[in-house]
Structures are given as structure tokens and as C-alpha cells.
Amino acid sequence: MAVEELLEWLDKRIAELEGELSKLRAIREHLMQLSGQQERGAEFTEEDLMALPWRPYQSGRGEWVFADQAPESLVKRLEQEGQIQIGEYVYALRTGSGGKRFVSRRRATNSQQARGKRSRGPQLSPEDLVRASRR
């Protein structure tokens, strides 16, 4: 029984640390942007995303590209925020059965486009995280 409790505690602690790490990365990225130290190539445009070698899913509902073919800043943002909407598409980071990561995208629904909302992910902006970290 002690081993099971220890494993449960470790799983819980790992989840807490991963959440904290995600917040710290968002704060770091925000501070780098404020100081003008954002890494080279971190900016991308909607046109850059359209030019990627997207492959359609067999179902016809969306497309995908290997994560190493996408802008690094997009992959980092997806790691931090989950799904994000850019233009007409909702983007997400996925992991295939072989462990290879890829970026998937699908057209946003009409309600998502009207609201311009994120489908999933933290509701706090990096600015909110910076303010919260000062408390």
C-alpha cells in the first residue's frame, strides 16, 4: 500500500510541477518580449502557416504537419496554451502513436470565428501571470 500511495503522490506532484513550469515559461516569454530579447525567428504570420506542407487527414476534417516543420514559436505557444485560433484555423499540438509530435489544424466553427476565441487552454494571459506571480 505504501508504494501505491507514493506513486499517487509522485503523479500528483509531477502534474503540479508541469503546471508551474508552463506558467513560468509563459512569464519568461512575456518578459523576453518586453525586453526585446525574443529569440530570432519567433515571429510568424498567418501566411507563414499557410505555406507549411500540410497533409490532409483521411477523414477530410483537418490537416497536420510534423512539429519540426512548424515555427518553433508556434509549437511553444501550443505547449503553453493548448489549442489556439489563428485566422480561420484552430491549431493544436498532438503526439502520434510512435511518439512523433505534430501540429494539427482544422477550420474554426462559425461560433469560434465570430468570437475569435481559443478552443482550450489557459484563460490567463502572460500579463495576468506576471501580475499573479508578484502577489
> pLDDT digits over 27-36, tens only?
887 787 777 6
Total number of domains constituting the chain:
1
| Structural domain range at position 53 | 2-133
pLDDT: which is higher, 39 or 45: 45
pLDDT attached to residue 64: 95
pLDDT: which is higher, 39 or 12: 12
- CA 120, distance to chain mean position in Å, is 9
Closest CA to 108 of 100, 93, 125, 120: 120
The rounded distance, in Å, linking the Cα atoms of 50 and 125 is 26
pLDDT tens profile 42-90? 578 888 899 999 999 998 899 999 999 999 989 999 999 999 999 899 9
Specify the 3-state DSSP secondary structure of 65: strand
User: In which region does residue 124 sit, left (phi positive, over 0), alpha (psi from -120 to 50) or beta (all else)?
Assistant: beta
pTM of this structure: 0.52
